[in-house]
Amino acid sequence: EFVLVCGYPAAGKTTLVKEFTDAGYYRINRDLSGGTLEEQSKLAEDFYKKGNNKIVLDNTYITIESREGIIAVAKKLNVPIRCVWLNTSFEDSQLNACLRMIKKTGVILSPQELKDCKDPNLFPPVVLYNAKNKLEGKDKNLKYPGKQNPKTSEGFYKVEIREFVRHWDDEYKNKALILDFDDTIRTSIGPKPWPEKPEHVKILDGRTETLNKWKQKGYILLGASNQSAVAKGLSIEDCTACFEKTIELLNVKIDY
């Protein structure tokens, strides 16, 4: 049997493939051997002819076209081929990519650092977005237009969907609530929809009590805000003063 394990970059394929290697499957992966997907298919053929009759290949295989080569090899050798689709969401894959980066480097790498990085498992956000566009059929260069989820009609005797389950290590013990300031914590009583001066800041009803309840549950509070008004002339000093006034009126510690 050939088994194709596929899904988004950082979907968790390496973890899943261990299930197969533990059961005696020979693993073929570009991160291990390099080369193109066509060369991976040739490796599978060569290793099968050498007596490895159970082979697992794990790459993204995000498009129908990318899977054609290995399906053709399986057909040529008269070997049944199964697809195991790791149905990790785009957002979970993003989180996995960031967690992997932090574990390997201690930080989220900057665009330049990612450009200079030689590790294929550490990649910029565009890699995931490109995969998403291909999977959803939005990429104009697709050989077969439309959604690219694997189907038995491609030549698989079975397509098995595996749901992603996140397991947090013991080191992950904090939990956080991310708060957008404008229209979530505060509103503006000034002439604009956003506060331009500290006296324009008004805390929305019940916010102090509600946030204190979250704090009592052990949540870290994270404040976030996209102040597009700075591009329209609002000074950084006034913007900062409005944040400081928000915290003062809220009377709840925002941790970050």
DSSP 101-139: HHHHHSSPPPHHHHHH---TTS--HHHHHHHHHHHTT--
- Euclidean distance between CA atoms 138 and 109, whole angstroms: 28
Q: What local confidence, expressed as pLDDT, does residue 32 receive?
A: 85
Kindly state the tokens that stand for 17. 């493939």
Beta bridge partners of 178: 222
Kindly state the tokens that stand for 11. 């979907």
pLDDT tens per residue, the chain (256 residues)? 999 999 999 999 999 999 999 999 999 999 888 889 999 999 999 999 999 999 999 999 999 999 999 999 999 999 999 999 999 999 999 999 999 999 999 999 999 999 999 898 999 999 999 999 999 999 999 999 999 999 999 999 999 999 999 988 888 889 999 999 999 999 999 999 889 999 999 999 999 999 999 999 999 999 999 888 899 898 999 999 999 999 999 999 999 9
Kindly state the tokens that stand for 10. 């950082």
Is the CB of residue 7 less than 8 Å from the CB of residue 86? Answer: yes
Instruction: Tell me the per-residue pLDDT of 226-236, one tens digit each, with 9 for 90 and over.
Output: 888 899 898 99
Q: What local confidence, expressed as pLDDT, does residue 173 receive?
A: 86
Instruction: Identify the residue whose tokens are 């995969």.
Output: 131
Q: What local confidence, expressed as pLDDT, does residue 31 receive?
A: 84
Q: At what angle do helices 207-216 and 236-250 cross, to 10 degrees?
A: 70
Q: What local confidence, expressed as pLDDT, does residue 172 receive?
A: 86
Q: What local confidence, expressed as pLDDT, does residue 16 receive?
A: 95
Please report which residue ranges of 120-165 form alpha helices under DSSP H: 125-135
